[in-house]
Amino acid sequence: MDARSRRWIFLSVLVLFFVVSVARLVTTVRRDGVEGATVWIALLVVALVVVVTLAVVVRRARAVAAHVARLRPGAVVVPGFTTSETLDEARAAGADTRGIAGVGGSPAALAVVGDRVEVWVRREQEPRWTVRRVPGGVSPVDAVYGSRGTAGVRVADGGAAVTVVPAYRPLRATGGLAGDDVARAVREMSGA
């Protein structure tokens, strides 16, 4: 099953859930009044908030990567989300930390430009900081993402560093499920 099929199934299930919930809500209101429908209303509101939040985060992750690709044509661009380590690495590099959440999850992108990796946060005109590409400098790591550990990628040169959760598939990465994206990011940034 390819990504398009999974997306179609996901959206179909979401629409079915919404239709069933609305039908159940209407039936409950008619039978029991508004008080009996409180749980269904709360469930619909929570579902709506979750869906909207995920849609915004996925859109922002894609927008940052697309922005960097426009500013760095021909560069390898690795979309990602920051980790808890990213904030400390930005401070150590003397970079601006606005927009980098302390628990991770902020959309970011890494651009491989010649002998360096640029760290981009938000849709700014310049990278926040750079890390030199050195042999063995790109590696998979266990990173802190929210309240749990997850697979991430670290680029380090002995002085500067950056750790991200790769987000080629941003919806999965939002949940900390980078999977094969980590190996792909390591390959692309190592030049292998």
Which region among 29-43, 125-139, 159-173 has the lowest average model confidence (pLDDT)?
29-43
Of 178, 184, 147, nearest to 165 (Cα)?
Answer: 178
Domain-located, residue 143: yes
Q: Alpha-carbon distance 87 to 96, whole Å?
A: 10
More confidently predicted of 109 and 191: 109
Domain-located, residue 47: yes
pLDDT of residue 51: 81
Domain-located, residue 53: yes
Share of the chain above pLDDT 70, in %: 86
pLDDT at 106 > cutoff 60: yes
Q: Alpha helix (H) ranges present in the chain?
A: 3-32, 38-71, 84-92, 170-174, 181-190
Which region among 146-155, 156-165, 171-180 has the lowest average model confidence (pLDDT)?
171-180
Domain-located, residue 65: yes
Domain-located, residue 82: yes
Q: Domain range holding 159?
A: 34-190
Domain-located, residue 17: no
Mean pLDDT, the chain, integer: 83
What residues does 165 pair with on adjacent strands? 81
> How many domains is the chain partitioned into structurally?
1
Domain-located, residue 167: yes
pLDDT of residue 119: 94
Domain-located, residue 23: no
Model pTM score: 0.73
